[in-house]
Amino acid sequence: MTPVPFLVSPFSPLSYDLMLFLLFPDVDPGPGMQKPQLLVPVMATPNGTLVHPAYFLLVGIPGLGPDIHFWLAFPLCFMYAMATLGNLAIVLIIRVERRLHEPMYLFLAMLSTIDLVLSSVTMPKMASLFLTGIQEIGFNVCLAQMFLIHALSAMESAVLLAMAFDRFVAICHPLRHASVLTGSTVAKIGLAALTRGFVFFFPLPFILKRLSYCQTHMVTHSFCLHQDIMKLSCSDTRVNVVYGLFIILSVMGVDSLFIGFSYILILKTVLELASQGAALKAFNTCISHLCAVLVFYVPLIGLSVVHRLGGPTSLLHVIMANIYLLLPPVVNPVVYGAKTKEIRSRVLHMFSQGGR
């Protein structure tokens, strides 16, 4: 395969417009000319020339003008500050308090770390898009963001499954909890979650790079997702569709089934307890985790369903994707901070010390 030096013939009508745009990118091309998309020819293949855009254009929220986008940036910045401070506080409290070095809290520290990174991957770029109106995101930067979003989501799903297993052992087999979930076991589970998220989603940027993008380069979200980028290609995307469906079912699908099965066994054990007070106390330890599971999986399932229905990306797709990515990092610290006595007391102690 040999590189192709030109995408457009130097004698074609478009070449003059392209030269003007390259020399004077800020000049209005006028009513008779359109500002051409910058396309980068990569290589010649048996099926034709492989073309990648120099950048994608992020839409934000379709149907909203720049003024509304500008004002939406402020609550988004507030959400990012809440997500950062909340998750960072949980990680630091669990690290400092030795009595919190138990499986439940160690898994919570992993969840907060993932949420901290995930919010940093998505929210600052969204806020910049809304504030400045600069839509361009480099092709490789977009693929890197897409990989991190999907890989971190898979890691979060694995940690939620590990937390469900922790609650199952603590309630159904309390005498074996300390021997089953040792410190080394918790560390191995965390490493397995990290490895699985990386391995399963590492091929995604490469199978997107094998596609040609010779049509629109408008990404209809405020960030890059595999389904959205795939729809912009003018190549055969069957490999992407099959692999995307495979990893969704084998990662999030399997995790959600095991979480549901764990809670069926937990509910069965709780209902068999003789004392109603003991049953409520046992189930109360699961409330925070149940909220985290619902916040994560309900938007994910909804987003997967609306994408699988086909058709152009709609406002519903965008809203579901925003809820799926933006809500958990903000809600999880609030829920766990409010429902976990040890974390709540530590936070109140920090504020009382700071007020003196």
pLDDT at 19 exceeding the cut of 60: no
Rg (CA), the chain: 24
Angle at 43 between CA 40 and CA 47, to 5 degrees: 110
pLDDT tens-digit map of 124-142 = 989 888 888 888 899 999 9
Split at pLDDT 50, 70, 90, the class of 325 is confident
For the chain, domain boundaries: 52-354
pLDDT tens-digit map of 43-65 = 444 455 677 888 888 888 877 77
8 Å CB contact between 118 and 142: no
Split at pLDDT 50, 70, 90, the class of 353 is low
Q: 52-354 adopts what CATH topology?
A: Rhopdopsin 7-helix transmembrane proteins (1.20.1070)
Split at pLDDT 50, 70, 90, the class of 4 is very low
At residue 115, the pLDDT reads 94
Look at 301 and 205; give whichever has higher pLDDT.
Answer: 205
8 Å CB contact between 233 and 248: no
d(CA 92, CA 317): 35
Q: What is the signed CA dihedral for 301, 302, 305, 310, rounded to 10 degrees? A: -140
8 Å CB contact between 190 and 108: no
d(CA 21, CA 16): 9
pLDDT tens-digit map of 247-306 = 988 998 899 999 999 999 998 888 887 677 777 877 777 888 888 899 898 888 777 766
State residue 138 phi and psi, 5-degree precision: -55, 150
pTM, two decimals, is 0.82
